[in-house]
Amino acid sequence: MAFELPALPFAPDALEPHYSANTLSFHHGKHHQAYVTKLNELIAGSADEEKTLEEIIASSTGGLFNQAAQVWNHTFFWNSMTPGGGGSPSGALADAISAAFGSLEAFNEQFKAAGVGQFGSGWVWLVKDDGALKIVTTANAETPLTNGQVPVLTCDVWEHAYYLDYQNRRPDFIQSFLDNLVNWDFAAANYEEVSSAAAE
């Protein structure tokens, strides 16, 4: 089974002026597509052709892991953004953020600091880890999935994620992500799905 590049969950220009159609044409259309293409080349003719993306991530290392994880991470990142995003979460996720970090403002500060502090390429995540919300970073293609953590939200801090719009100003990009792009409905759905499963 060949993997396909997932469609964006919004129009290419829907995040402007905070995230441009030009950036998406490269980031989604070229970088993400390249990971999908290489992944399909690596699994061709092997037992991995019958596995899900998550199964490949769990069972692989090296180049195969890198391609599979980057396909998954990027798809999760697109869904972590939405036109007219930002603002505040509500419901159970809002309560959990306040309990874990003290306030949404404190969460935003810690999330931004973690993303800015990630050396080189990588990701900053809000995850649920053993019942608690935490902010973690991963380098390169690494993903919380391999650490037993459940991703709730992510921001891509590879340079290709923001350089066309923000040049070397990673702090400005992360701040704009939090203020204008973050999809709290997606994050809430991830959090509530995990919480519901844990309660069963």
Residues tagged in the binding site annotation for Mn(2+): 27, 74, 156, 160
Residues 9 and 7: their CA atoms lie apart, in Å, by: 6
Beta pairing partners, 138: 123
User: 128-147 burial, b for 16+ CB within 10 Å, e for fewer?
Assistant: beeeebbbbbbeebbbbbee
Look at residue 136 and give its three-state secondary structure: strand
Binding residues: 27, 74, 156, 160
DSSP label at residue 168: T
Locus of tokens 């994880």: 69
Residues 76 and 101: their CA atoms lie apart, in Å, by: 23
Contact 129, 149 (CB under 8 A): yes
Look up residue 128 and give its two tokens. 């649920």
Locus of tokens 């999809």: 183
Nearest Cα neighbor of 53 from 34, 79, 73, 32 is: 73
